[in-house]
Structures are given as C-alpha cells and as structure tokens.
Structure 1
C-alpha cells in the first residue's frame, strides 16, 4: 500500500537524485563556460588584427560570427551550472532528509495501524460484557479499552508529527524544483510575456498529463507563442494535444535540417523526414521528437487521427531499432489501420534508446524506456479517454512494454498488450501478477518456431527470462503459417524480424493477421497448429529433450 501524507497529499516515496553527479556536471559546465569565454576573448583579439585585404577581412568576419555564437552558449552553460548546483544543494537540504524519513514513517504507520486494531478489539470486547458480569471484570475490560485507545492516540500523534516534518521537507524540495524549472523556462523566453512564462513553468511543474491538458486548454491565447519559443518542450510534453505537439516537432525538425552538417545526426533527422513524407490523409504526425536528450535520436510518428480514433495501437521496437526503421514500421502501422478498419490509428514509438547486442541481457534500457512509455501511455489515456488502447511490442520492446504496463495494476489504461518474438518479460516483483490479474490489459503472445534470437534473449538473461507464452491468462497465437477465415494461406514468420518478408509484422502473414484480428475482435484469427501450420526448426520433434526443459521451449 502506498502511503499519502495527510495534509499535502505527498506520496511517501524516495526521491531520486545524486548530488554528487549533479555537482560534477555543474563543475563541468562551469569549466565549459570558462573555456567558451576564453574562446570569445581570442575571437575579440582576432577582430583587432591590423592590416587590410581579403584574408584579414574574412578573419574579422569569422571572429565576429564566432563571438555571437559563443556568447549564447557561454551564457547557457553558466545558467545550467547555476541551476544544477542550486538544485543539488536543495536536494541535500530537503529531498535527502525526506528520503531518510520514509522507513521511519512506514514503521510508525504500521505500529499505529496495529494499535488501532487493538483498540477496536478491546472496545468491542468491553461492549460485549453483559450486565450480569462481575464488576471487577467489567472494570478490567473498560480499563484495557481505555489504555488501548490511549496507546492508539499517542501513536497517531507521533505519526502525525513525522508526517508534518516529511511534508516540510517535501514542500521545500517541490519549491526548489519549481525554482529550477522557472530559471530554465526563463532562458530563451525573451519573446514570451510574463504570463506566458508563468504558464510554461506551470506546465513543466504539472504533476500529471491531466494537469498539463487542463493548463493548456485554459490558455489558448498562449499556444502559438509557446510553440514558437519552446518547440522542444511543447513537442514532447505528455498531456499537450497531439496536433500541437506535431506542429512544434515538425517545425523544429525543419529548422534543424537547415543547419545540421553532414554526419550521423543529420542522417537520423533525414530518416525521420522521409518517414513523414508519405501520401495520404491524414499525413503522418511527429508527436514526439528528441534529437539531444539521449544517446539515440528518438521520435514517435502517428499514422491516423489520434483525436478521433476509437482504436489506438502503439508499436514498440526492440534490440538495435532506431529512427531509420521508421519507414518500415510505418508501412506496418498503415496496414494495421487498414485491416482493423475505420477508427484505427497507430503510433510507431521509438521513444527510448534500444539496446545493442551486449546490452540486451540487462534491464537498463528497458527501465529507461519503460518510464518514457508509461508517461506516453498516461498522456494517451488523458487525450483519448474513450479509445481502446493497444500495445504491440517486438523483441526487447516487449520487455520494455511489460515493465511499463505491468508496473501498475491498472496497466495505464491499456486494453490489449500483444508481444511478438518477445525477449522475455521482466522478473521484477509484481509485473507478471499485474499483467495477469484478470483485469485489462488482456495479454497475447506469439513465438515463431524459427525464431532463435528471442530464445537466446530469454535464455541469456537473468532479469527478463519470464516466458510470456507460459503465463496463466496469456492467450498464445500462432505465427507459423495458417489460413485466414476465407481459407487463404498465410505465410509463417521465418525468423526474428519485425517487418519485411518473413517477419512478425509483415502484412499478410499469419502473425500480422492474428494481431489485427485480436485488435478487431479480441481473439486470434487462426487456430493453434491449425490448417496450414508448419513445423519450424525449434519444434519439439527436432530435439531429444522433453518440453519440461524450458530453455529449449521459450
């Protein structure tokens, strides 16, 4: 049970943060600022070079342009250093002390709860004594009830004092957090009015996507200016309507492409642009876009109208996925919309750093991705409260999605969770229980008999080795060839790929057909090992061990 403070409604939880790391980065930023100032001084000296001629004039011109660029970067580095150090100091003063009280409050609450039950029991026992009982027994039981009530009340006062202290520290940390946001929001916001800057701070400090949406809807007059001044914030803030986010992100992408030099980052930006340049109505929408916030450029593209859709599916990629795959996934997304029917919209969500081969056995990438996916799903449910929400996740993407969806008993409002070629669900406490508790989401899984990669992924990990196909309540469907409702042949998935020939999400395949039927009707469209099904390399008949040896039956 999660405890909540009685007066301010603060959750009793540990606040994450490393003052050492924050201070280290603050120091690095200060050194960067100093180096930029030295570079600016050198450029000013270059402007004063004596002589005439084309070369000297060019040097002076370049020096002037360099000074203009360096001054802005220097000021930004200095601001970030100050904000980060101030926040680090505040974390020590407030958040660290709040964290130190968590266990003490949990213990005090447990003691009060027990004494409360004891007092109730003692009072009931005293009240049950009849008039015929000896007066000595009546007096003893009444005295015991009074003592139990006194112990209960004392425990409550002690608990209340702890809560009051905790709320003081949490409030101090909240204020420091808001101050940091205000400082960052003020930077680069010269074009905004004081009211617009205040709204930006409020949006950044909002506790939920629902609060973000409320603030946004209350101030339509500020939308255009906020998008223009801070497309990086508005384009990625869960709770902001997707049309506004798409407008901000597309403008930012176009602006970056005007100045981005050749290289890997430009290649990524151009890959996103290509995925957006698809004919049709509505055009694909860039609903999240972060070229700088992580190791990879991340993005999410919506195919279909999220504002009016009755079915919204989200495709989550796995190992080695990146924005260069957006086109291939986009084809699968549009085919899914077409096969599910009117009212379907699909998001291709590359919103996290996917793991490479050496990172796949661990959970680091899944934990970061799950936090981002959970926030996205929270925002999606706020913006599309009446839509059925489906998540289709491939490979390590299913590990990430299972961690996100299974972290809450309500599954963030997801109705259907479909895992294809899963690398295994997390072994973390409560995840499998939340996914199979009889409440939404309903979970489905498939594993091709020719998919060695997924099996290796499960077999080489100690932290995401839960086999989804073996969980109670999970509906397993085939991807090894079959026939559709009209008797037409459906190709098998012949490996681990998500899209392309022989892939799980290749339109026309058995796996893809079953995914669309699950979203449409709640049930797979083909029978397990039914007509047309083929035996793959990993079928049990190929091995001398029985099914009880799970390593070979992932």
Structure 2
C-alpha cells in the first residue's frame, strides 16, 4: 500500500521532467469499459415485439423505464429470456427484471471467475457484465420498499472476481455494503456497485482521472436508472479511488449525500467546486496510508486537496478507530455508526 503512495509522489515530482508517459504505466494499464451492454447488436435487430426495441446506447434510463412499464408481463419475460445481458445491465429496467435476467446470465455462464456470484442462497444481482475483468452490482435489502438507499463505490483492484473476496472483507464492495446494511437495519437497502473499470496496482491509472471519468459517466447513468424505477435518492459512499469517480460525477449525480473515505482527492478544490446539492462528508483515519499521498494535481497527475482538510468544507466523519485504509466499515467503529446515521437521513 505504501508503495502506491511513494510512487504517486515520485510521479508528481517527475512530471516536469518527463516529456511523455507512455512507457511508465507498465503492463497494468486498463482500458475503460464504456458504451451499451453486451448483446446490444442482437437486441437492436430483434423484432419479437413487432417493433424496434429501445437503443441502449441512446435511450435515457427514464425512457427505458417507460418502455418496460408499457409491456405485458409475458413481453417482459420474453426479453429477459432472449436478451438477459441487455436487460440485466440496462439502466431504467425495473429491478426485479434485472435480478431475473442476471441470474439467468450467471447460471448459463461457463466462466469459473463468476461462479461465486451464483450462490449460495438467493443473490440480488442488479448488474453483471462479463466483459474484461467483469463488473457487478448487488443489492442487500428490498429496493422496492426501502425508505433509505445507499450505494457503495469501491476503489482500485476491484472487479467481478474480487467483488466479495474473503480476505480484507471490508475493503470489498460486498463486504462494505453488507456491513452498512446490517447497521442500518430494516427499511433500508444498500447497493454494492462495482460498475466501472478500476485501476490495478501501481501505475498511471491510479494517479490520473481517466478511468474515474469513464466511471463517473456509468455511475450517473446507474443512479438515473434507480430514479426511473422510483428508488429514493441514495447516499453514495465512495472509497479511495472511488471518491475520484464520485467527485467527477457529483454535479450530475442524483444523490442525497456524498460520503468519501480514504480519499486521495475528488478532483475539486472544495465542496462548492463539486457543484452538487448533496451533503458532502469525509472520513480519514490517521493510520490510513492514503495520508501519505500528496494532495496535489499537476498536469493531470494527482487528485487535488484532501476532502478531510479544513479548507475543503466537507462534514467530518469520526474515523479514529477505523484502522488503516479498509477499516471504515468494520463493525463497532464510530465511522460505521456515523455512516448508518447518514444513510438513514439522521445525521446533521
């Protein structure tokens, strides 16, 4: 972890001396997954309903929602069966149909990387895209009845394969979401959203905002899809590099609260620079290695001021007992208790 911090410092200092960066990023540079869901070409060519289906690349989540609400149950099921990857990943589709479609995709798949997502038990998989390293979102609780909804946005080294790994549990989106759901109780729902291409290891991806920008586009569309299905505006919890995603999405993101934890910066000088109506909160434990990362942005490297700094203007979340970079959602911590209070709309 501290290697990341030292590398970012070195990169920032070297910026004025290096004319190009193509050779620096080594073999871990990632290509952001963008565009419509897999299977879109077959979906667009299908006339099973006697008319064109909405273009996943052009149709807004609100328009997608209206289209599906206008179908009969039999027509909806036909699309789930014929195009599970599109239905399961298309923002604006009713959540129950997405669960059904993604369960079908996972059960039919043969990639061993994703077997853990099938079970045990009934898992509410809201998104599953097997392309690249894989992307996934899972719901804990009942989105259809929840009065309060939260979304967890993870940082680096997260994909479908590491989504719910058993080591470093509270550093995974699944572990963070489960812990928050257990603390918030009935009447809430929490979504673990690993829906963007994250950086891997040490490299330019982690020090720049290119993957975060692509992730911000996906996050804002995902949130718009929740709105189209009548889900309350969520509290969005953004861990580590995920806070860069949330910072770039903030001005377009439908959210009641933005909570950043272990953040290297949000690519904004202060809360006002985020241009959001959401309340902004920040947490950082003194033992978190992220504290060693320089809060600068030079020629696109680095992510700007520390959101927990007094000049940034975020509301502080107590995190003295969080312990390290992935301890913020650990049971029994003040940070988790405060997160739950924010999620329930009780914190001021």
The CA RMSD over aligned residues, in Å, is 2.5
- What does residue 13 of structure 2 align with? none
Instruction: Assess, with a 3 A threshold, how the Cα gap between structure 1 residues 346 and 338 changes in structure 2: closer, same or farther.
Output: same
- What does residue 209 of structure 2 align with? 363
CA distance in 1, matches of 2:236, 2:139: 14
Contact kept? 1:271, 1:326, Cα under 8 Å: no
- What does residue 90 of structure 2 align with? 237
- What does residue 297 of structure 1 align with? 134
Contact kept? 1:310, 1:388, Cα under 8 Å: no
Structure 1 position 320 matched with structure 2 position 157: yes
Structure with the higher fraction of residues in helix conformation: 1
Cα deviation code 1:481-509 (max 9, x no counterpart): xxxxxxxxxxx122112xxxxx1111211
* Aligned with residue 496 of structure 1, among 325, 330, 341: 325
CA distance in 2, matches of 1:337, 1:303: 7
* Aligned with residue 396 of structure 1, among 241, 245, 253: 241
Residue 427 of structure 1: how far off its partner (Å): 4.2
User: 1:120-519 alignment to 2 at 5 Å?
Assistant: 184-185=42-43, 187=45, 189=46, 193=48, 195=50, 198-200=51-53, 202-204=54-56, 207-220=59-72, 221-257=74-110, 260=111, 266-267=112-113, 269-273=114-118, 276-278=119-121, 283-292=122-131, 295-327=132-164, 328=169, 329-356=173-200, 357-358=202-203, 359-385=205-231, 387-406=232-251, 408=252, 412-427=253-268, 432-433=271-272, 435=274, 440-456=277-293, 458=295, 462-470=301-309, 471-480=311-320, 492-497=321-326, 503-519=327-343
CA distance in 1, matches of 2:294, 2:193: 22
CA distance in 2, matches of 1:336, 1:523: 15
Contact kept? 1:306, 1:384, Cα under 8 Å: no
Q: Structure 1: state its 5+ residue gaps.
A: 1-180, 261-265, 481-491, 498-502, 525-554
Rg larger for = 1
Instruction: Assess, with a 3 A threshold, how the Cα gap between structure 1 residues 256 and 477 changes in structure 2: closer, same or farther.
Output: same
Instruction: Assess, with a 3 A threshold, how the Cα gap between structure 1 residues 183 and 514 changes in structure 2: closer, same or farther.
Output: closer
TM-score, normalised via structure 2 length: 0.78
Q: Structure 2: state its 5+ residue gaps.
A: 1-38
Residue 476 of structure 1: how far off its partner (Å): 1.0
Contact kept? 2:264, 2:303, Cα under 8 Å: yes
CA distance in 1, matches of 2:344, 2:57: 38
Contact kept? 1:351, 1:369, Cα under 8 Å: yes
Higher relative CO (Cα under 8 Å, sequence separation at least 6) belongs to 2
Residue 516 of structure 1: how far off its partner (Å): 1.0
Contact kept? 2:151, 2:236, Cα under 8 Å: yes
Aligned pairs, how many?
Answer: 297
